[in-house]
Structure 1
Amino acid sequence: MTDITGIVGAPPAAAGTSTYTSSNRAATPNQQMDGQMFLNLLVKQLQAQDPSSPMDTNAMIGQMSQLASMEQLTSLNTSSTETFALQMRMAAANLVGKQVTYTDAKGVAQTGLATSVSYAGGVPTVTIGKDTVVALDAVSGVTTTAS
């Protein structure tokens, strides 16, 4: 049986026995599978293998391919999230100077002129008139105002 203590997400090792840390505190379990976890697992497999019967190279290449795929998917996810955030900012900026319809806190549809936007939070906010601030995702309609 392979010992997997010291791998993030595995049961914590006894105090002071971890191969990877020098402190006596237990590692906080990581609920996500990341590249470091896969590398740690691969290193443990290589350390525990029988020298007279080494790991099949095809299996090792398969594991490395899975690691590379996971890294690429993580990168794609990050890029996708950043692209979506940029699209929300552009959409909010395009509202300035237009009549927008939104639902207020009482559930009533309101209409007003979008005068500015803010990117301070996770979702851009639109200022309607002088002092009404609504989240971009609360805007339900947009019309162009006559000049």
Structure 2
Amino acid sequence: MAVDPVTGTDSASTGGIYSTPPTRTPKQSLDSEAFMQLLVTQLRNQDPSSPMDTNQMIAQTTQLAMMEKLTSMDTTNQEGFALQMRQAAAALVGHTVSYLDKNGATQTGAATSVSYAGSVPVVTVGDQKIALDSVLGVVSAAATVPAAS
């Protein structure tokens, strides 16, 4: 019977630290970390009598840099689009807008507020919460009450 020197328990009866072997979930996409791991593994396992071509290594490093820049540009574009949606939703406040209701019928009403809590801004029209992508257009500026002088 083998006894674990750290815990003093019988390892045969407990099955080690885990009751079941841990499982590793695979990544669904390749990122710069995966690319670097592949490059390092390739360098470690290369034949010393015919090392990797430096031009090929430079090309792979360039591809990594390009991938990182494209990823950065994608993130910037997504942030820019989100900002544009927020600006468009904010511009609707105080205007009469037309929108599609839950039944698919066109409705109109004055936009009174905007919520940015979700991924798509939500415009409040009367007592309805309308996603920005359901707004069909601006019908007219809402009537304003003249300020008291």
How many residue pairs get aligned? The number is 123
Determine which of 113, 119, 126 is the counterpart of 2:116.
119
Quote the residue 2:134 is aligned against.
Answer: 138
Structure 1: distance between partners of 2:40 and 2:22: 22
**Matched-pair identity in %:** 59
Q: Which amino acid in 1 is paired with 2:133?
A: D
Q: Which amino acid in 2 is paired with 1:113?
A: A
What's the Cα RMSD here? 1.1
Quote the residue 1:97 is aligned against.
Answer: 94
Cα offset, 1:145, TM superposition = 2.8
Determine which of 26, 51, 55 is the counterpart of 2:52.
55
Q: For each residue in 1:42-79, what CA deviation from the matched residue of structure 2 results, as whole angstroms up to 9, or x when unmatched?
A: 00000001112110000000000000000001000000
Quote the residue 1:43 is aligned against.
Answer: 40
TM-score normalised over the length of structure 2 = 0.79
Quote the residue 2:6 is aligned against.
Answer: none
Structure 2: distance between partners of 1:121 and 1:34: 27
- Secondary structure of 2:88 counterpart: helix
Please say which structure displays the higher CA radius of gyration: 2
Q: For each residue in 1:21-46, what CA deviation from the matched residue of structure 2 results, as whole angstroms up to 9, or x when unmatched?
A: xxx73431111110001000000000
- Secondary structure of 2:47 counterpart: coil
Determine which of 76, 85, 88 is the counterpart of 1:88.
85
- Secondary structure of 1:50 counterpart: coil
> Structure 1: 5+ residue runs without aligned partners?
1-23
Structure 2: distance between partners of 1:26 and 1:105: 44
Cα offset, 1:107, TM superposition = 1.2
Determine which of 78, 82, 105 is the counterpart of 1:108.
105
Cα offset, 1:146, TM superposition = 4.1
Structure 2: distance between partners of 1:26 and 1:59: 35
Q: Find runs of 4+ consecutive structure 1 residues off by over 3 angstroms.
A: none
TM-score normalised over the length of structure 1 = 0.80
